[in-house]
Structure 1
Amino acid sequence: MIWQFALRYFRARKSTSAINIIAWVSVGAIAVGTAALITVLSVFNGFTGLVKSLYSSFYPTLKVVPVTGKTILFTPEQLKAVSQTRGVANLSASIEEKAVLRNGNEQTIAVLKGVDSAFSHVAGVQDKVIRGAYDISHEQGYQAVVGLGIESALGVDVEHSSVPVNVYMPKRDEAGFSAGLPEQAVNSGTIYPAGTFAIQQEFDSKYVLVDISFLRNLLDMQPGEVTSLEISLLPGFSEKKTKRALQELLGENVKVQTRVEQNATIYNVMQTEKWVVYVFLSFILVIAAFNMIGSLSMLVIEKQKDITILKAMGGRNSLIQRIFLTEGLIIAGAGSVIGFSLAITICLLQQHFGLIKLGGGSFLIDAFPVEMHYEDFILVSVTILVIGILASWYPAQRAARQEITLKAT
């Protein structure tokens, strides 16, 4: 009965057209706010997905690093146990260290990342090579794959030249420095750039990939000594469960990081920005709530006779209150349905046709990326429900408190 009364009040013509206008303005404001929230949150999801795809080209699904210090020594038994852990698909050992690279008169500082043959199975750098080839072999000299920024800084030509690049790296002990002999404190080697990768500036201007044996020899490291273990998972296995199993296996001297934890700063910033935008755009719905209050208050005045009759027939105050609360929820629900439909249409058009372009001539994507997540629809639905109830509460209370005024005839 409550829904029947509320739907009738919503659809029926009022004695004053202003009440209808204000009600539909409320519906329109909620629809606009809903569409704006879903669309903007979907754009943030798109950018987050884009960043994750870029980072997945360089960072593994799980990464094992030492809690203290730069390196950690793994025994063959430990490595075998890690590779046999449930969910682990591939295991790659790596060593990272800063070095000075020099090509003729050009030089730059870069991070050398020594990787083994399994690295191409835990990351996707080989798919981002834009010139030359992904080659870190060392049969005829140590080959290297350099970032686009490093290639530009050194002035190398990976396709038409085999000019060696000199690598200078400080020794791990301080004997040379303490003796006042800088030349004895530096190890040097030679690499031959064979390919260039382009992911994004953070990687392109920082990293050079070489075979892990090159760095192990240059740094006089023991077999099994690494800066990290990089792991990919079998399809369908949970990151959290595998992480927990590896942490229990390897103990407290290491920490196992997911891809999000490896890049916690950027992900936290993106999530914070998303929540800030959600809060600000929710004010559109708050403004719509004021329209609802006005619309329902005028409706209460319009339906004074109906309220009096219902109370005279034994209707309790709670019944009257629920009728007008339901009326407010119908207004909010109608606006949300229209808003969801509008947002889905906009997002689908953007996904298929890229109507809104990105400026600056980005080499990655031309249009704003969009990803719709059901969690956003739930969040916005709950937000609308709360705002609808709060906006309807005062008019509903006012209607329930209205006194019976029957006139004698």
Structure 2
Amino acid sequence: MNLPFFIAKRYLVSKKKQNIINIISGISMAGIVVGAMAIIIIVSVMNGFTQLIGIFYSDFDPDLKITPAEGKMFDPAEIDVQKIKEVPGVVSYSEVIEEVAMLKYGKQQYPATVKGVPANYNQYTNIEKLLTEGSYYFEKQGIDYAIVGQGVANYLSAGVSFLDPIDIYVPKKGRQFSLNPSRSINHGYLYPAGIFSVLEEIDAQYILVSDTYAKELFESGNKVSAIELDVDDSASINEIQKKIQGILGEKFHVKNKEEQHDLVFKTMKSEKWAVYFILIFILLLASGNMIGNLTMLYIDKKEDITILKSMGLTTQNINRIFLYQGWIISFVGGTVGTLLGIFVCWLQIEFELIKLPGANGSFVISAYPVSIMLSDVILAFLAVLSIGFLASWYPVKFMSQKHLSETNIN
């Protein structure tokens, strides 16, 4: 039987001479419970927003995207295309062209990225699901059409029901500017067939056209900006990414969906860790109650310490009594706080109790998104236990010497 642990449990629930010690013990445990809950809930909400943004991007982006390490365009003949197509798990192979152009509609002008996509673009992305207005097509009765981002359409004040086309201007390849603008600029026009909405970053940047139209407009010849690959759902994207990167070498980058927007996801991960450490710091401050609690408990139990020492209990075992009590408070508080945090997250997932302010059905979700990750739960629980250990060790290490020495003198 572990005598120090048994005594520590009795001290935790027994009535003290000074009622304030019971109150401080309750406050210490409550602080740990609330701190653990806050970590689980807030970090899970941030995970939910990260996954939500990832879903938005996945509807617009391919599973894998091949881009040149240097320059903006390359000739697919430079790589072994057939070998890439034969990689197990690769479902489709598509070449795209992306260039910045100046758009003009009426008196409005706006620079945007014109993306020339192949005919099967709607098969490996969910672009049709993203349409808020119009339909998905690039050519009808010999007339060229475009799918315009919501932000671009707003800046240009353009719509699918308007009769005027959108004018597109791009510099001609390999030609110097002339006093006559028509000699140095390619001009094209097309009509909006549909308007899509993903995220503001994409909506205000892209306008989709057919790859044939883009090749003529940008005079790209056989060169493309990127190769987009669709991967089978049952296949491992990471393994396929490594195989294709091995085929292409260092001259090309092979990026998955997250890496295609690495700045956004890195920023969100940094924010998550910043919030995590801020909450840990707050929990560390709250654990100061435990230091006061154990210190006062030492004073309250001076007579007990004298009796235990006279019965032959060593100083080390007496220290363990108070150390174990601090650990029990941390463990119980961390366990209860973690379970309550998970329960609150589950309630939000199932019943969407807390709504997003100002959503009113106009946004894709109406309540705060929540995603519970096991790694976050374990990390938060270990952090609570570590803080509890430090908060218990401090008074045991420094305060016990004074009180035990006084006991020996007396």
Kept after mapping to 1: 8 A contact 2:335/2:381:
no
In 1, Cα distance between equivalents of 2:249 and 2:213: 29
Give the alignment's TM-score, normalised by structure 2: 0.90
Q: Residue 295 of structure 1 aligns with which residue?
A: 293
The 5 A counterparts of 1:112-191 are 112-137=114-139, 140-158=142-160, 160=161, 163-175=164-176, 177=177, 180-191=179-190
Kept after mapping to 2: 8 A contact 1:321/1:400:
no
Q: Residue 214 of structure 2 aligns with which residue?
A: 215
Q: Residue 199 of structure 1 aligns with which residue?
A: 198
User: Identity of paired residues, percent?
Assistant: 37
In 2, Cα distance between equivalents of 1:246 and 1:55: 22
AA paired with 1:246? I
The 5 A counterparts of 1:206-285 are 206-223=205-222, 225-285=223-283
In 1, Cα distance between equivalents of 2:130 and 2:216: 28
AA paired with 1:50? L
In 1, Cα distance between equivalents of 2:219 and 2:272: 46
In 1, Cα distance between equivalents of 2:89 and 2:301: 65
Q: Residue 30 of structure 1 aligns with which residue?
A: 32
1:335 aligns with 2:363: no
Greater Cα offset, 104-113 or 310-319: 310-319
Kept after mapping to 2: 8 A contact 1:60/1:122:
yes
Q: Say which SS state the counterpart of residue 99 (structure 1) adopts.
A: strand
In 2, Cα distance between equivalents of 1:233 and 1:320: 63
Task: Tell me the CA shift for residue 268 of structure 1.
Answer: 2.1
User: Aligned pair count?
Assistant: 404
AA paired with 1:363? F
Q: Residue 377 of structure 1 aligns with which residue?
A: 377
Kept after mapping to 1: 8 A contact 2:291/2:392:
yes
Unaligned runs of 5+ in 2: none
Superposed CA deviations along residues 51-99 of structure 1, whole A, max 9, x for unmatched, are: 1111222222322111111101112972222122233333222111112
Q: Residue 39 of structure 1 aligns with which residue?
A: 41
Query: Among residues 55, 58, 61, which one is paired with 1:56 in the alignment?
Result: 58
Task: Tell me the CA shift for residue 112 of structure 1.
Answer: 0.7
In 2, Cα distance between equivalents of 1:291 and 1:103: 66
| Structure 1 residues 194 and 5: alpha-carbon distance in aligned structure 2, compared to 1, 3 A threshold | same
Task: Tell me the CA shift for residue 277 of structure 1.
Answer: 1.7
In 2, Cα distance between equivalents of 1:79 and 1:330: 62
Kept after mapping to 2: 8 A contact 1:114/1:209:
yes
Task: Tell me the CA shift for residue 371 of structure 1.
Answer: 1.6
CA RMSD of aligned residues (A): 2.6
Task: Tell me the CA shift for residue 392 of structure 1.
Answer: 0.6
Greater Cα offset, 316-325 or 17-26: 316-325
Q: Residue 396 of structure 1 aligns with which residue?
A: 396
Task: Tell me the CA shift for residue 132 of structure 1.
Answer: 1.2
AA paired with 2:363? F
Kept after mapping to 2: 8 A contact 1:54/1:199:
yes
Give the alignment's TM-score, normalised by structure 1: 0.90
Kept after mapping to 2: 8 A contact 1:308/1:403:
no
In 1, Cα distance between equivalents of 2:233 and 2:321: 51
Task: Tell me the CA shift for residue 308 of structure 1.
Answer: 3.6
In 1, Cα distance between equivalents of 2:391 and 2:236: 43
| Structure 1 residues 407 and 213: alpha-carbon distance in aligned structure 2, compared to 1, 3 A threshold | closer
Unaligned runs of 5+ in 1: none
Superposed CA deviations along residues 278-301 of structure 1, whole A, max 9, x for unmatched, are: 222223322332111111122223
Task: Tell me the CA shift for residue 42 of structure 1.
Answer: 1.4
Kept after mapping to 1: 8 A contact 2:302/2:407:
no
Query: Among residues 79, 82, 85, which one is paired with 1:80 in the alignment?
Result: 82
Superposed CA deviations along residues 107-136 of structure 1, whole A, max 9, x for unmatched, are: 432211001133224332221011111213
Task: Tell me the CA shift for residue 405 of structure 1.
Answer: 5.2
